[in-house]
Structure 1
Amino acid sequence: MDVASLQQCAGRTAAAPPHPLDPLSSPEVAAAAAACRAHAAAAAPRLPPLRFNTITLQEPPKADLLRFTNGRGPRPPRRAFCILQTPPIFGVIEATIDLSHFHAAGAAAAAVVSWVAIDGNDMGGQPLATPDDCLEAERIARASPRVQAVLAERGVSMDQVACDPWAIHAGKWKGRMMQVFTYLKLGPDDNEYARPLDVVPVVDLNTGQVVDIEAYPEAPKNIPTAGGNYHRDLVEQPFREAPKPLYVVQPEGPSFKVDGWRVEWQQWDLRLGFNGREGLVLYDVGYTDPQEGGRRRPVVFRASIVEMAVPYADPSSPYNRKCAFDAGDYGLGFAANSLKLGCDCLGVVQYFDAVVNNAQGEPVVIPSAVCLHEEDAGLLWKHVDYRTGYSEDRRARRLVISFIMTAVNYEYCFYWYLHQDGTISHEIKLTGILSTSLLMPGEGDKSRYGTMVAEGVNAAAHQHIFSARLDMAVDDEDGGRGLVVSELNAVRHPSHPLTNPAGNAFTESETDLITVHAARRQSSAADARVWRVKNPARPHPFTRKPVAYHLYTPGGPVLLAAEDSVVARRGKFTTATLHVTPYKDGQL
């Protein structure tokens, strides 16, 4: 997109500058990329061509945003944050682009305000692997004569191979590395995970070379041949009989209202956002309370899923490196589906397009990436007067905000729910296909560290651990500055002839979590443990205790890998159910 086109796009929207939290538009992404290229050409003309990893909104500092939203300060500058690469140089450039005047003055007004080059040897990690990076890793592996020769030893030609690129979090290699798991794919719609191969090339994205190939010491004698297809034209068993049609109709339309990225529903209001790493973000969630004279009560300043870890249990090389941090490795938003291709929302649906970027710095629109709808949620409340037989009941409705992403073999479906009783909940549904491996030599006919899903095909045991970042603002106009988090546990009282003669007494204990170290907590169903996010400045009118939200977490273990494992070192969030830390700008 050239500068003239950008100015035309900007001119069409100049009348309404975006809200400071609105995601970058396509023209803004293109303008940020153009500003980076112009700056590089002027300041470092010998620099290799820029490869754009990420172009995203740089959210304003929290204090500035609060002053603006509360009517006490000016509109914060609108800026884009860019992560750039210059292969074959090992490192990144972090650039900040001011877009504050873009909507009024056009693309020429986009200006670089920060440009920091970071040597790859000084970084504790690497930028995420974008969809373009994953395709590049596959291209490098496919083009390698060495890889082709190893596959030929197994009687497999490259046109029969599917390649799954995975990030590498530890190993003997230095650089921007990816490992490529290979599978036999007998046709364009064949399910490759039914036929895993033992060949795993390791590629360097910066140099464009295969630096290593890992394979079993001897070529496997028997590559699995059984099909396991899901494509409707290839399934070997007929589909089950379909149920009768079920229709959800809303003849009067939905109960929600949408203005740009702002949503209102049943006393709730919030802003939606979207970026390449986290995908869907909720901002400034509030509830207008009729019992408080219609006062809007802040609930959440910002909420998103910021990371997830999927560590696999097989200790054999190369599978002991098999672990995905899907948000940091690939980007939940970069991998988001267009829900036009399939969505489980019924009734009246509002879709939101998302904009990310490709390696050339061009905007990439994901049509209908976010789905907004409301749905019946069963019984909300019911009571029957058993003396008279009189009954009252209320149906529940909930607002659903969702998106779905594909991480190679798996689909993750993320759902935020707002309920009429003031509850907020989050659900993640996992679907897709298991990532498989070929049995190692000497393992016999089964693996100790997985489940056999077909003859010779192992699905290694693994976990899915998610990190939800919740910046709460419970009834606090200052964005949650005055909140305190405490832990509640049920306490069983021993029998006592005076204080508990029947032995039935129990109470709860409450402990404020004051330090970061003390606030690394584990769930405990035996203690009915919950965490309370409370506002001491706002006492409840009846209990006189601080108003609060309770945080309930699902059961399940934290990380099962060893404490000194790579996963535990890189993903500290996996080692505890709850971490409470002070807010700090820039920690996203």
Structure 2
Amino acid sequence: MSTLAPRPASAAAPHPLDPLTAAELAVAVKVLKDDPRVTEDTRFWGVALDEHHARTARPGDARRARAVVICPSAHVGYEVDLELGEKPQSTAWRELDVRSPGCSSEEARQAAAVCRADPRFREALALRGIHDVSLVMVDPESIGGFEPPEHPGRRLTWGSVWHRESEDDNGYARPVQGVVPVIDMESMEVLYIEDHGVVPLSEESGVFAAGTVPERAGLKPLEVVQPEGPSFTVSGQRVDWQGWSVRVGFSHREGLVLHDLSFDAGGRGPRQVIRRASVNEMYVPYFDTASTQYRKNFFDWGEYGAGPLTNSLALGCDCLGVIHYFDAAVLGGDGVPRVIPNAVCMHEEDDGILWKHHDGRTGRTEVRRSRRLIISAFATVANYDYGFYWSLYQDGSVMLEIKMTGILSATGVTEDEETPYARRVAPNVAVTNHQHFFAVRLDMAVDGTANRLVEVTAEHESDPALDPYGNAARTVLRPVLSEAEGGRSTDASRALHWRVESTEARNRMGEPTAYRVHVENTAVLPVRPDSVCARRAPFVAKQLWATEYDPARRFVAGEYPNQAEPGADGVHRWQEEDRSLDGTDLVLWATVGSHHFPRPEEWPVMPVARARLRLEPDGFFDRNPALDVPAPVSCHPPATAADAGGGHCCAG
């Protein structure tokens, strides 16, 4: 049984870091539309809260935001600073290359409709036996790195094409191979159609809705019950739970954002851990020479935006237990704000054993069960679905788990075609090898903002005189003191991980208080260095980057990766300034990676695959901070000593 948590009391007043509301978005759009620079055909690519101002503003100051607009008839884009107070106004306008802003869902739908109306597109479909174009799906894809030289300076996209046999069909199971429309996204016209030859369409259904296959028998109900309600409290966007305090935020580009994570161990007062945490970018390159595959390399956040693609979550389906939901407001490409109900889910889960010891001499056992608070959201990017689960633990640990599911991006193949860069998953259907990179931004604040990064490895003792038995190993700590050294790589053979240390606070052993960072899932691009994907996303070459905080440097691949010169902006450029990282306001950019070798078992819909990032206290506390967790109330002595090996399961 899943239920809604009791409605929380409203916050006394909105917090400066609260997400923008639908009303504020509407005010922003009105200010923009009232300006003569904004044309009748203007499109919008989001309005974002000015978080730096929100952190430094004085009480009573108006909230500030930044909008991105595209004016197709004027062939220009603008980045606009706004004040959203009693007298809303724009305060600065900066011209943008019209190609720079990302593509909204409204633009994508318009481009697909333009393709379906184009006679050349219809003719190419007819050659493949497709005559009802209303059943044809077109996904406009980013073209970065593959802009046709005969169309310079245009805001372009190319279309991947799919066919459904009915309105309820799974079109992604039936790729229309070889047909590639190239579209001008300003004028909304099809420039030309590539036709690489007819490949038979798959005749196998890819439908996986309930009732399509006989249901498995024998699954009994599993109820999650919290008779006294949840252990968290909510006030506005602030959450308090088991020593943790966190603010739940949301943005157009990144979707779910967490602010001001602090931990209070034993009631001694809250201590800062992380100032801001988000999945900052997602990059997905494909590794195939096929006509409908070789261009595929996407900055899903920088070219589309996580916010508008966020799902409404369903009680009892996406989350189980006693649930609290946060709604989120987003701005469509047409300038119409909308609210995503239940955009963010929060609930508690049992997480197995937290700590335990059985004393064989006395027969006494002490055991505590772990519970975690999960704050999660799901975003759907065309065929793929991605879940982002931030978990807070009673021992002060933090984990991000990314769940990848949905439908694989397929290509059509002939019966006898070799597929060296893909794997067949159905008749006439193959799926290309590809990768998913998630750039996680962590604005660290371990006991304050004066932090440093230290790399930790296990290394054997090199002096034989000190190691007569050959088994001595040191913990080696290497401070990373400047941005030029800020790009780091993992190495499991040396147990490599990183510490974020306070340069001011010490624990009782005299060591700097710190948090460890583990990037548990990594991948390396298996391509030539001169390839488009390697040049467009240099940040994926390292598993961790460190920079000094700069409010103007918000995104790991740069502010506007859409049709940008490959590698022109991003964290790999910022490190060239070589600013000091010793005792600074430290920002980490961790790269969680997953190499996807497709499997037939992932077709026609993919069971969840997981990738993780983990942070844990390392000398932040003087001893186990979870000693105060209560013993399980349902933990009873066994019926006989033999049943329990001579003792009962936990102290009563």
Asked if Structure 1 and Structure 2 have the same fold, meaning a TM-score greater than 0.5 normalized by the shorter chain, the answer is: yes
**Mapping for residues 331-342 of structure 1, pairs under 5 Å:** 331-340=305-314
Q: In structure 2, what is the Cα distance between the partners aligned to 1:283 and 1:494? A: 44
Distance change (3 Å), C-alpha of 1:560 and 1:343: farther
Q: In structure 2, what is the Cα distance between the partners aligned to 1:132 and 1:203? A: 15
Q: In structure 1, what is the Cα distance between the partners aligned to 2:418 and 2:221? A: 43
The answer as to whether partners of 2:498 and 2:516 remain within 8 angstroms in 1 is: yes
Q: Secondary structure of 1:349's partner?
A: strand
Give 1:458's aligned residue.
430
Give 2:52's aligned residue.
60
The structure 2 residue matched to 1:562, chosen from 528, 533, 546, is 528
Give 1:189's aligned residue.
168
Deviation of residue 450 (structure 1)? Answer: 1.0
Q: In structure 2, what is the Cα distance between the partners aligned to 1:301 and 1:15? A: 21
Residues matched between the structures, number = 539
Deviation of residue 494 (structure 1)? Answer: 5.2
Q: In structure 1, what is the Cα distance between the partners aligned to 2:486 and 2:51? A: 27
Identify the structure with bigger relative contact order (alpha carbons < 8 Å, sequence gap 6+).
Answer: 2
Q: In structure 1, what is the Cα distance between the partners aligned to 2:218 and 2:172? A: 27
Q: In structure 2, what is the Cα distance between the partners aligned to 1:415 and 1:457? A: 32
Give 1:423's aligned residue.
397
The structure 2 residue matched to 1:116, chosen from 76, 83, 94, is 94
Q: In structure 2, what is the Cα distance between the partners aligned to 1:206 and 1:342? A: 43
Give 1:211's aligned residue.
191
Q: After superposition, what is the alpha-carbon deviation per residue over 1:286-338, rounded to whole angstroms, capped at 9, x for unaligned?
A: 11232xx6221011111100101110010233421112211112111110000
The answer as to whether partners of 2:11 and 2:235 remain within 8 angstroms in 1 is: no
Give 1:289's aligned residue.
265
Q: In structure 1, what is the Cα distance between the partners aligned to 2:209 and 2:121? A: 29
Q: In structure 1, what is the Cα distance between the partners aligned to 2:485 and 2:141? A: 35
Q: In structure 1, what is the Cα distance between the partners aligned to 2:387 and 2:402? A: 5
Give 2:461's aligned residue.
493
Q: In structure 2, what is the Cα distance between the partners aligned to 1:178 and 1:21? A: 35
Q: Secondary structure of 1:474's partner?
A: coil
Q: After superposition, what is the alpha-carbon deviation per residue over 1:509-528, rounded to whole angstroms, capped at 9, x for unaligned?
A: 11111222312111110010
Q: After superposition, what is the alpha-carbon deviation per residue over 1:176-197, rounded to whole angstroms, capped at 9, x for unaligned?
A: 2121111121011112222211
The structure 2 residue matched to 1:162, chosen from 119, 134, 137, is 137
Deviation of residue 219 (structure 1)? Answer: 2.1
Q: In structure 2, what is the Cα distance between the partners aligned to 1:225 and 1:302? A: 49
Q: In structure 2, what is the Cα distance between the partners aligned to 1:303 and 1:29? A: 23
Give 1:504's aligned residue.
471
Q: In structure 2, what is the Cα distance between the partners aligned to 1:326 and 1:343? A: 25
**Mapping for residues 215-234 of structure 1, pairs under 5 Å:** 215-216=195-196, 218-220=197-199, 222-233=200-211
Give 2:631's aligned residue.
none
Distance change (3 Å), C-alpha of 1:223 and 1:261: same
Q: In structure 1, what is the Cα distance between the partners aligned to 2:380 and 2:338? A: 17
| Structure 2 residue 482 is matched with structure 1 residue 515 | yes
| Structure 2 residue 150 is matched with structure 1 residue 178 | no
| More deviation, 502-511/560-569 | 560-569
Q: Secondary structure of 1:339's partner?
A: coil
| Structure 2 residue 508 is matched with structure 1 residue 529 | no
Q: Secondary structure of 1:587's partner?
A: coil
Give 2:223's aligned residue.
247
Deviation of residue 165 (structure 1)? Answer: 2.1
The answer as to whether partners of 1:413 and 1:430 remain within 8 angstroms in 2 is: yes
Deviation of residue 554 (structure 1)? Answer: 1.4
Q: In structure 1, what is the Cα distance between the partners aligned to 2:42 and 2:324? A: 37
AA aligned to 2:139 is D
AA aligned to 1:553 is V
Deviation of residue 341 (structure 1)? Answer: 7.8
Q: In structure 2, what is the Cα distance between the partners aligned to 1:445 and 1:419? A: 51
Q: After superposition, what is the alpha-carbon deviation per residue over 1:449-493, rounded to whole angstroms, capped at 9, x for unaligned?
A: 0110012211000001110000000001xxx2x200010111022
Give 1:25's aligned residue.
21
AA aligned to 1:159 is S
**Mapping for residues 261-410 of structure 1, pairs under 5 Å:** 261-290=237-266, 294-340=268-314, 343-410=317-384
Give 2:622's aligned residue.
none
Give 1:36's aligned residue.
32
Deviation of residue 81 (structure 1)? Answer: 1.2
Q: Secondary structure of 2:322's partner?
A: coil
Deviation of residue 406 (structure 1)? Answer: 0.5
Q: In structure 1, what is the Cα distance between the partners aligned to 2:272 and 2:476? A: 27
Q: Mind listing any 5+ residue stretches in structure 2 that lack a counterpart?
A: 1-9, 555-652
Give the structure-1-normalised TM-score.
0.88
Give 2:68's aligned residue.
83
Q: Secondary structure of 1:319's partner?
A: coil
Q: In structure 2, what is the Cα distance between the partners aligned to 1:242 and 1:485? A: 52
Q: In structure 1, what is the Cα distance between the partners aligned to 2:387 and 2:292? A: 29
AA aligned to 1:457 is V
AA aligned to 1:94 is E
The answer as to whether partners of 1:48 and 1:87 remain within 8 angstroms in 2 is: no
AA aligned to 1:468 is V
Identify the structure with the greater helix proportion: 1
Q: After superposition, what is the alpha-carbon deviation per residue over 1:36-79, rounded to whole angstroms, capped at 9, x for unaligned?
A: 11122xxx48x443222212212234xx725x6xxxx5455401
Give the structure-2-normalised TM-score.
0.80
Q: In structure 1, what is the Cα distance between the partners aligned to 2:316 and 2:198? A: 40
Q: After superposition, what is the alpha-carbon deviation per residue over 1:258-298, rounded to whole angstroms, capped at 9, x for unaligned?
A: 111111101110111101110000011111232xx622101
Q: Which runs of 4+ in 1 moved over 6 A?
A: none
Q: In structure 1, what is the Cα distance between the partners aligned to 2:507 and 2:201? A: 66
The answer as to whether partners of 2:522 and 2:543 remain within 8 angstroms in 1 is: no
Q: In structure 2, what is the Cα distance between the partners aligned to 1:117 and 1:177? A: 19
Q: In structure 2, what is the Cα distance between the partners aligned to 1:514 and 1:563? A: 28
Distance change (3 Å), C-alpha of 1:374 and 1:327: same
Q: In structure 1, what is the Cα distance between the partners aligned to 2:135 and 2:34? A: 43
Deviation of residue 349 (structure 1)? Answer: 0.3
Percent of paired sites with the same residue = 40
The answer as to whether partners of 1:24 and 1:57 remain within 8 angstroms in 2 is: yes
Give 1:10's aligned residue.
none
The answer as to whether partners of 2:135 and 2:167 remain within 8 angstroms in 1 is: no
Q: In structure 1, what is the Cα distance between the partners aligned to 2:164 and 2:332? A: 28
AA aligned to 1:556 is T
The answer as to whether partners of 2:14 and 2:236 remain within 8 angstroms in 1 is: no
Q: After superposition, what is the alpha-carbon deviation per residue over 1:335-392, rounded to whole angstroms, capped at 9, x for unaligned?
A: 0000038743111100011100123322111000000111111110000011122101
Q: Secondary structure of 1:534's partner?
A: strand
The structure 2 residue matched to 1:94, chosen from 43, 66, 79, is 79
Q: In structure 2, what is the Cα distance between the partners aligned to 1:495 and 1:513? A: 25
AA aligned to 1:197 is V
The answer as to whether partners of 1:446 and 1:458 remain within 8 angstroms in 2 is: no
Q: CA RMSD in A?
A: 2.0
Distance change (3 Å), C-alpha of 1:518 and 1:92: same
Q: In structure 2, what is the Cα distance between the partners aligned to 1:242 and 1:259? A: 42
AA aligned to 2:134 is D
The answer as to whether partners of 1:90 and 1:176 remain within 8 angstroms in 2 is: no
Distance change (3 Å), C-alpha of 1:388 and 1:458: same
